[in-house]
Structure 1
Amino acid sequence: MDLSIVIPLLNEEESLPELCAWIQRVMQDNRYNYEIILIDDGSTDDSWKVIRELQEKDPMHIKGIKFQRNYGKSAALNEGFRAAQGDVIITMDADLQDSPDEIPGLRQMVLEEGFDLVSGWKKKRYDNTLTKNVPSKFFNAATRKVSGIYLHDFNCGLKAYRKKVVKSIEVYGEMHRYIPVIAKWAGFRRIGEKVVEHRARKYGVTKFGLDRFVNGFLDLASITFVGKYGKRPMHFFGMWGTFAFLLGAVSFAYLVIAKIINPEVSLSNRPAFFIALAAMIIGSQLFLAGFLGELISRNASGRNLYLVEEKLGLG
């Protein structure tokens, strides 16, 4: 199969027929063998009813996954990636702000230019709101600095992936913002960018909130730590644990020797004595945390499981 179009959605009943018809036109014009995977992330409107009707009209190409409740965009993408069978996987939002006309160009960059992942860059935007664009600029700048991946728009929903990439990574929590970073940590370093069209919202309301700005930076710290130390937690906890323990032990030994030399000196009245004991205890706990982390990382297996209520056109 040439292409899998993975579309997570939440309450997008109005836009789905138009979006699917547009994608189908692009696919037919380019004679692609394709599938459209629509993941309903716990919608409270008639989105699943619309998906069912679309699938009945075109069961060969349209497939659906319905979550039992709202798990978030990352969970929806993760399930879509697991189901996708195309050589190239395209992700896009369901609100018609991403143009399906960009699909051939994205596919070409993956197959002909050798990229593992291509991220869209909405250089000219139609939602220039203070609460959305200013936080987004800070977020993208921080992510570029930390990850070393020089993309302008990490959170753009329009992306293209080589099949091997999506089958090698797991997206969870709110980590969909950091898929390029996750891919890089997994060893896929050929990451590119393409300027894409950003269309004004036609239906519905934005799902963006200020809480996503705060959560974004927390997730960045998390993914950076997991990427560097997820498979070797002892290198982090063990290093700092050893440092804290040795610092405390040396200080404790100095105080004990000082007590032996001058018995009149009271250890219990010296703050340094208690600081040394605390450093030794904290160091031991950090070392133990690293040891337990190693055991967990070497024995953990499987992916996060999400309760899927219903599937259409999928095994």
Structure 2
Amino acid sequence: MTLATQAPSNVLSDVPPHRLSIVVPMYNEVDNVEPFVTAVHEALGDYGFEWELLLVNDGSRDGTRQALDEQARLRGPHVRPIHLWRNFRQTAAMQAGIDAARGDVIVTLDGDLQNDPKDIPKLVARLLKEDLDLVAGWRQNRQDGMLLRKVPSRIANRLIRKITQLEFQDLGCSLKAYRASVLKRVSLYGEMHRFIPAWMATVTSPARMAEEPVSHHARTRGESKYGISRTLRVVLDLLAVNFFLRFSGRPGHFFGGVGLAVGMVGGLILAYLGALKLLGEDIGGRPLLWLGFFCVLGGLQFLTTGVLAELLIRIYYDRGEVAPYHTSKAPEMAPTAGWHHRA
């Protein structure tokens, strides 16, 4: 990492010493590489603390790899390109950068210069001064086209707020500052970079998260990778988020509840047909008979799946690596403090 030689900027006054890692996924952004790296260095010229810039090339095919390597050669070892051998999409690229980050604080942002690197010190300062685990950017004055970006983003944010019960206004903003020790307890996949606050709520309190207004600029180089189709993928991932938030510690309740409901419907159907049979009616050719049979069978399968899921989750927690709960950070105590001593 590079060592800053100037005094910290005003916004970072009274901020505890720390090391900062900036993680930036890039895909086919060859025209933005040099302007972006320059903008980051200008924004952090008087940062005052150690920092590094991790530029994750997500399988680009337009010369982004060569441009990143050239910037690393020109700027120094604190600029660290990471090359993925194919396009794994933004979430996986972000995870690769997070895994490689060495800082106490991690900031993520897009490499298309729509997020402003000048907002990084402000987010970090709030994170550390208020002892938070996450400060998310809020693009109050978005500069995107209405159809391709704003509409899908509004739909996604509304769905996410409804499901997660987290009152973030702009979860789609990639510019976020995290406490590294907390972020690294979360694994990302799919389109989960949108749901990082929801995933972090499984390892820390939502009270330790905040949102901060940030600048937003129109894209001037390259092509946008966002659109309506991404909203559909977000909906699918949102179902997974909802399951893990509500049932990760008790999957048997989810599968068992579904199984009981489906099995009860099947049982009522078969009971009704059984009554008709006793009254002398022919039920052998009725489609309702097949529906009742398969509902009962499906209910049994859901119930057994719930039992298996409970066994797996018990094995997961019994390994001792993860607890089914998380506590707030307690003050440090002397080895003999906190015990009642008999007089």
TM bracket, shorter-chain basis: 0.7 to 0.9
CA distance in 1, matches of 2:218, 2:268: 64
Q: Which residue does the alignment assign to 1:286?
A: 302
1:238-295 residue CA offsets vs partner (Å, 9 max, x unmatched): 12212332443455456546756x5x34442565544432221110111123234345
Q: Which residue does the alignment assign to 1:11?
A: 28
Indicate conservation of the 8 Å contact 1:5/1:91, yes or no.
yes
Query: By how many angstroms is 1:297 displaced?
Result: 4.8
- 1:19-30 superposed matches below 5 A: 19-30=36-47
CA distance in 1, matches of 2:315, 2:205: 25
Indicate conservation of the 8 Å contact 1:27/1:33, yes or no.
no
Task: Read off the aligned partner of 2:23 and give its amino acid letter.
Answer: V
Query: By how many angstroms is 1:16 displaced?
Result: 1.6
Q: Which residue does the alignment assign to 1:306?
A: none
Q: Which secondary structure state, in structure 2, belongs to the residue aligned with residue 106 of structure 1?
A: helix
Q: Which residue does the alignment assign to 1:171?
A: 188
Q: Which runs of 5+ in 1 are unaligned?
A: 303-315
Percent identity (aligned): 35
**How many residue pairs end up in the alignment?**
300
- 1:1-315 superposed matches below 5 A: 2-189=19-206, 190-249=208-267, 252=270, 256=274, 259=277, 262=279, 264-268=280-284, 273-297=289-313
1:45-98 residue CA offsets vs partner (Å, 9 max, x unmatched): 111112112222344311121111101000001111111121110001111111
CA distance in 2, matches of 1:110, 1:185: 19
Q: Which runs of 5+ in 2 are unaligned?
A: 1-17, 322-343
CA distance in 1, matches of 2:219, 2:263: 57
CA distance in 2, matches of 1:151, 1:238: 32
Q: Which secondary structure state, in structure 1, belongs to the residue aligned with residue 177 of structure 2?
A: strand
Query: By how many angstroms is 1:130 displaced?
Result: 2.5
CA distance in 1, matches of 2:148, 2:62: 26
CA distance in 2, matches of 1:47, 1:28: 24
Task: Read off the aligned partner of 1:282 and give its amino acid letter.
Answer: G
- Aligned in 2, Cα 1:284/1:166: closer, same or farther, shift over 3 Å? same
1:160-208 residue CA offsets vs partner (Å, 9 max, x unmatched): 1111222111110111111111112333412211110112223212111
Indicate conservation of the 8 Å contact 1:165/1:188, yes or no.
no
Q: TM-score, normalised by structure 1?
A: 0.86
